[in-house]
Structure 1
Amino acid sequence: MTEGVGFRFGKLSVDKVPDVYDDEVLEMSQFYQDLAKELGENELSRQQSIQQFRDWIAKHPHIKRCRTDAPFLLRFLRTKKYSFIQAAKTLESYLVARTKHRKWFNNLDIDEPELSGLIDACYLFPLPRLDSNGRAVFFSCSSGFDANKNTVIGPIKAIHMLGEIFYETNEAQCAGCVWIFDMELIDMNALGLITVQDIRTLAELVNTAAAARIRELHFINTPAVARTIANLVLQLMSDKIRSRVFCHASLGDLHSKVDKTLLPKEFGGEIPAAELAASYKDLCRKMRPRLLTLDEMEIELTDNPNSVWTNGEGLEEGAIGSFRKLSSCENFLDLVAE
């Protein structure tokens, strides 16, 4: 478990209009309060925007079941810097992605053999401490994936599971996260398991449905073939994501960008990768009930998913007008001030 990160382990509700809303947000240090303020957050804007979000979910004609607890909604508000329209559209895309691509996003169960095996093989795990910028750092060893034993679904689910655990924490929402991928021992047969259409779909989901503040992506020891494919994938990503990608020719180059004491012992740090992966597996098991509850969220898929935005289908005219108006404001307080 990453030191300094506040996790919640309680039961989740996916009722879109629960009897009692969950408003609990873990206390933040002044450091993270200042970061949240840079995203447009203060006590009033947070309360008002969460309530606005809940009203929107309650009136949305296609959302059938959805989390409405404060940490979950803050994940979208903070990622989009309190632009309500952008946050709501991202939540909508997130629910659609979960519904259309269940094989990638459902059943995030650490007791499922493939997921369990990937973590045991150190395919993906968080590092033991936050970095100097207060960010969570995640590490992936390509050697943990075996094309003879694993499907392409396993790594996608492993990445999604780690995100679902961390992205609702104050630390990841306010400071963001850093991903590091060691590609030296990548199984080249793995590259033949994913189709071009899968790559396009995943890139689109990252661009439209990922409520995450990804600050940096580091790749080390990347073979030439993998670099070529990675460049093609990056062309499908947003300019913002592309600007945050760093490719390192050596471990020393990575150390110049990332505090090496955070890294696994095999990469210059202090704690062996197997020990970090085992600790993460314990965290996944504690989170298991929450992660499995996510499968109960549901949105109705329609032929015209944008209809709710273009003509206010099923929503009160005044409400949808307010949502549109919010898109031109930096945050909810701008609307209140008018």
Structure 2
Amino acid sequence: MESLKDTKIIKFHPDTLEAIRKLYGLDQPGAINDAIDILQEWTKKQDHFMKKDFSREFLERLLIRSKGSVERSKQTLDKLCTAKTLMSKFFANCNVKELTHLEIVEDVILPRLTSDYYRVYLLRNVGQEFEYEFYTNYFRRLVYLLEYEYINDYVAGVVAIFDFRQINLGAHLRKLSFVDLQQFLTMAMECYGFRIKGIHFISTSKLVEALVAMFKQILSGKVASRIYVHNSLESLHEHVEKDVLPKDYGGDEMTLTEIHQLKLDTLTTEEFMDYMKMMNAAGTNEAYRQADKYNEQVMGMPGSFRTLRVD
């Protein structure tokens, strides 16, 4: 990959490619290509993979998400493919604009990177009542965004912001499935390789502490220590640069609603929906996995019997 291309919903700093490669020791001549060559050859030999022809651009981003480690990249890709078999409920072929119960939530990746090359995910939920289908469909739509990120972005990690100032948090907590939340967070971090710099909740409700406690049961101590609760935008601005935020959050970007609509348009193009059909099918056939590798590679995956704490 010689350069990064801005898209309708993500932008880069001019030096992003060089800076991120240097961060993970991949800035030496030939280092990236040599690592990708190894991954391509390894992928071809995985009999249980249902897709073996991942592009070099995909594999480079896999390396970046794995901090430049070829061995960690192998593990992450195996877990991602396995998740598409064990957790198929999250990988639905659909038009994300048509998923029901999602009119109460707007969520985006913000176009501008932070100064230290992190991408910001921002969610605003205004729900007063919730159905179980809301959570299933929200996770399905988020998978589309994760896959888009995987093939287009190039970042050091993610900052997540959840704006719950208008939500009925009690109703939310009563319907939220701890198991589904655990599975999805595990998948996002272990299978998609997202590294979390910070998780920020904006809320004035005392019930937000119950939500934080739920997250802390799932996350490792290191990631859990990066959870912050804010009762105002001013408090948030102490942690997240204002210029990357939408206008309605004190920043310089388009409004959250405008970015959200642009995201939906992007995720429902014919080209991207065809790509998702291909990637949703990139699971595993466990009958072909080496028997002596099953416990090592599958036990502990979301959907298996062992509970993971993710980091």
TM superposition score category, shorter chain reference:
0.7 to 0.9
Structure 1 pair 55–196 and aligned structure 2 pair: CA distance change class (3 A)? same
| 8 Å CA contact 1:66, 1:298 repeated in 2 | no
Quote the Cα distance in structure 2 between the aligned partners of 1:240 and 1:185: 29
Quote the Cα distance in structure 2 between the aligned partners of 1:28 and 1:60: 36
Quote the Cα distance in structure 2 between the aligned partners of 1:237 and 1:222: 23
Q: Which runs of 5+ in 2 are unaligned?
A: 297-311
Quote the Cα distance in structure 1 between the aligned partners of 2:53 and 2:201: 34
Q: CA offset at residue 126 of structure 1?
A: 2.4
- 1:227 lines up with 2:227 in the alignment: no
Task: Specify which of 166, 186, 191 is matched with residue 204 of structure 1.
Answer: 186
How do 1:94-113 and structure 2 match up within 5 A? Answer: 94-107=80-93, 109-113=95-99
Quote the Cα distance in structure 2 between the aligned partners of 1:75 and 1:238: 24
Residue number in structure 2 paired with 1:79: 65
Residue number in structure 1 paired with 2:157: 176
| 8 Å CA contact 1:95, 1:297 repeated in 2 | yes
Greater CA radius of gyration, 1 or 2?
1
Output one character per residue of 1:221-260: Cα deviation in whole Å (capped at 9) or x when no partner: 1632232132232232124422433222321100122233
Q: CA offset at residue 102 of structure 1?
A: 1.4
Structure 1 pair 215–272 and aligned structure 2 pair: CA distance change class (3 A)? same
What's the TM-score once normalised by structure 2's chain length? 0.79
Q: CA offset at residue 104 of structure 1?
A: 1.2
Counterpart of 1:194, as a letter, is L
Quote the Cα distance in structure 1 between the aligned partners of 2:113 and 2:94: 24
Task: Specify which of 186, 189, 197 is matched with residue 167 of structure 2.
Answer: 186
Counterpart of 2:268, as a letter, is R
| 8 Å CA contact 2:126, 2:166 repeated in 1 | yes
Q: CA offset at residue 150 of structure 1?
A: 4.6
- 1:41 lines up with 2:26 in the alignment: yes
Q: Which runs of 5+ in 1 are unaligned?
A: 9-26, 312-338
- 1:141 lines up with 2:124 in the alignment: yes
| 8 Å CA contact 1:141, 1:182 repeated in 2 | yes
Counterpart of 1:216, as a letter, is G
Counterpart of 2:22, as a letter, is K
Counterpart of 1:88, as a letter, is K
Structure 1 pair 264–34 and aligned structure 2 pair: CA distance change class (3 A)? closer
Aligned length: 286
Counterpart of 2:234, as a letter, is G
Quote the Cα distance in structure 2 between the aligned partners of 1:182 and 1:235: 21
- 1:129 lines up with 2:143 in the alignment: no
Q: Percent identity?
A: 23
| 8 Å CA contact 2:47, 2:289 repeated in 1 | no
Counterpart of 1:263, as a letter, is L
How do 1:145-294 and structure 2 match up within 5 A? Answer: 147-148=130-131, 150-172=133-155, 175-187=156-168, 188-221=170-203, 223-270=205-252, 271-286=254-269, 287-294=272-279
| 8 Å CA contact 1:108, 1:161 repeated in 2 | no
Output one character per residue of 1:258-287: Cα deviation in whole Å (capped at 9) or x when no partner: 233432333223533222212222221233
Quote the Cα distance in structure 2 between the aligned partners of 1:93 and 1:105: 14
Identify which range, 175-184 or 125-134, moves more after superposition: 125-134
| 8 Å CA contact 1:64, 1:300 repeated in 2 | yes
CA RMSD of aligned residues (A): 3.2
Structure 1 pair 29–128 and aligned structure 2 pair: CA distance change class (3 A)? closer
Counterpart of 2:138, as a letter, is P
Residue number in structure 1 paired with 2:38: 52
